[in-house]
A and B are shown apart, each in its own frame.
Chain A
């Protein structure tokens, strides 16, 4: 009887939460900060009074309020997943938890059929208190999740059995670029800086606080978007890349899938290099700057088309053989080759016309 009551309460809460979600869905579809559901933690204050305080709870029980606040789970509230929490739960009794499948049935079904299902549960990859949409997480962060189970060096060696420059591929691509069946891709550009502000340092994604400091406390997008229109033109991109003040800041591009599935397939088509390397300028036209936010997520800022195809200064550190070739540069190369053909063709033609002169000389000698 008690279980039935709990179930009824859970269903009621979920219905209310989904109803609230339905009301704000149009705003969620947009790019930028509006994509998140905002900090509406009214229902959660009681729980977070303890669980949001690192001095009171430790380890996995601590919830980073900044990270949690923007998630959908914060919106629906703690009781939606943790109902009937006992008074003494902090001591002995295990807090009840909702099953992810109860809300994410489609994704759970898809994941259950994947090769990962027997190896990791949902929480193996997703912390429900920090959950982020694919747009809000960087490619590097995605790969960090994968590397919890998949050792980087082993993966590099394994991929190296068939993939040229496998380490480079694993560094410069989110794993899901190849291991999900997305049809469309875009180029995500992250602002990276060398570790220790050294020319030889390992490049790491620059955090919000560091960029804020570089921007003089203002909007960090102003480092690139000089006219403040929330859109990065090619001219602004070139200025950023050539700006000597940003000596240790660079843009690192990653080919990112537009949609993400939970099948994590090994797709034969991805073993064909031309899947990426011959897709041509068309698919390389769309790019975004992935800008870090205060809450640890990222937001997309649209970049003018053709950024990664710019000959030199658009994205000096992003180049994909066969895909990002610049047509103007191809023209220069063709002109050079034609220049080399001018002499043989013209000289050969005159040589043919004057062949009798040389025959006469041969006879004379």
Chain B
């Protein structure tokens, strides 16, 4: 038996960063497409305007990425816990979440993972965000900074193999980010209602079911363990989990 309750999932700094980042990345995609395919796309007007908008949006995303990193790592000190999958995530969590997306969701079962302020992401989200936030985004930002400053940073470009290598990395990492964006936006609609996961990123609060279990106590006993409340078949007793 469960009741609805509200939890404060997304603090204001995270929400501000998220939407500025979203706007910046959409701008980068549009302007970047015009820069690469000016013969076909002129949505932002002249080529020079597209470059200036691309440069400005890129700098904004890079600066806010740094602020995001400082906020989570130094202010909240929850970066590792939120974004690095633990042993349980790798052993079972990712597969469990994958099975939910590919199978159980269609049978009408709820997600095996339940977000908490200190454990917002399910194991698949963690893995994906780890790749996006710590590989793709830094890669696209650093290569972008090199491409914006070809003359002053010539030595770094040569050390990296030449401007074509830099451009190729920038282009392919940007395409990978766009691919992620498609999946990200779609998965954001997979809550109990299509807006259930989007509202917390606007208002900060998420409506969740209040369960009988006491997750904080369990987390204290087994750090890193994320309780599975909805599926009895995956709700292992703490004694069993200790064996892992």
Hey, which bits of chain A sit against chain B, CB under 8 A?
A: 162, 164-165, 167-168, 171, 199-200, 250, 272-274, 277-278, 280, 311-312, 315-319, 321-322, 325, 329-330, 332-334, 336-341, 343-344, 347-348, 350-351, 353-354, 357-362
The reply on B11 being an interface residue by CB < 8 A is no
Q: In the complex, A343 Cα to B200 Cα: how many Å?
A: 23
Q: Is the interface of A mostly helix, strand, loop or mixed?
A: helix
Interface: B183 (CB within 8 A) = yes
A-B contact list, 9 entries, CB within 8 Å: A164-B51, A165-B150, A199-B155, A272-B47, A273-B38, A316-B162, A340-B181, A344-B183, A357-B107
User: Which of A199, A277, A315, A361 interacts with B108 by CB under 8 Å?
Assistant: A361
Q: A168-B150, A343-B186 are in contact. Are A319 and B167 (CB under 8 A)?
A: yes
Contacts of A311 in B (CB 8 A): 164, 168
Q: Please name all residues of chain B whose beta carbon is closer than 8 Å to the beta carbon of A168 when the two chains form the complex.
A: 150-151
Contacts of A164 in B (CB 8 A): 48, 51-52, 55
Interface size on B, residues (CB 8 A): 45
A344 to B51, CA, bound (A): 31
The answer to whether B171 touches A329 (Cβ under 8 A) is yes
> Given B37, B168, B171, which contacts A322 in the complex, CB threshold below 8 Å?
B37
Closest to B35 in A: A321
Given A164-B51, A272-B47: A312 in contact with B164 (beta carbons within 8 A): yes
Counting from the closest, the 10 A-B pairs by CB-CB distance are A340-B179, A316-B162, A344-B186, A357-B108, A273-B47, A278-B38, A333-B175, A361-B108, A354-B106, A340-B182
Taking CB as reference atom, which chain A residue is nearest B40? A278
Partner of A317, one of B101, B163, B174: B163
Nearest chain A CB to B187 CB, angstrom units: 8
Indicate if B66 sits at the interface (CB-CB under 8 A): no
Q: How far is the CA of A129 from the CA of B148 in the complex (A)?
A: 43
Report which residue of B159, B174, B183 has the largest number of chain A beta carbons within 10 angstroms of its beta carbon: B183
Tell me if A357 and B106 are in contact (CB < 8 A).
yes
* Residues of B161-191 contacting chain A, CB below 8 A: 161-165, 167-168, 171-172, 174-176, 178-183, 185-186
Decide: A273 near B168, CB < 8 A? Known: A351-B105, A357-B106, A358-B108. no
Residues of chain B having any CB pair with chain A under 8 Å: 35-39, 46-48, 51-52, 55, 101, 105-110, 148, 150-151, 155, 158-159, 161-165, 167-168, 171-172, 174-176, 178-183, 185-186, 192
Closest to A336 in B: B175
> How far apart sit A167 and B151, CA to CA, in the bound complex (Å)?
7
Could you say which residues of chain B place their CB within 8 Å of the CB of A162?
A: 48
Q: Name 19 extra pairs, CB < 8 A, besides A274-B47, A332-B172, A354-B108.
A: A199-B155, A250-B162, A273-B38, A274-B38, A278-B39, A312-B164, A312-B168, A316-B163, A317-B163, A319-B163, A321-B51, A322-B39, A325-B37, A333-B171, A337-B179, A344-B183, A348-B186, A353-B106, A354-B106
Q: Is there an interface contact between B108 and A360, defined as CB atoms closer than 8 Å?
A: yes
**Which of B51, B105, B109, B178 lies in contact with A337, CB distance below 8 A?**
B178
The answer to whether A322 and B101 have CB atoms under 8 Å apart is: no
Closest to A165 in B: B150
Cα–Cα distance between A195 and B219 once the two chains are bound (Å): 61
Bound CA span A347–B46, Å: 39
Nearest CB on B from A328, distance (A): 11
Given A336-B175, A344-B186, is A315 in contact with B164 using a C-beta cutoff of 8 Å?
yes
- Does B38 contact A277, Cβ atoms closer than 8 Å? yes
Minimum CB–CB distance from B23 to chain A (whole Å) comes to: 19
B168 touches A329 (CB 8 A): yes
Residues of A within 8 A of B167 (CB): 319
CB <8 Å contact, A340 and B178: yes
Complex: how many Å from CA A228 to CA B181? 51
A residues less than 8 Å from B171 (CB atoms):
329, 333
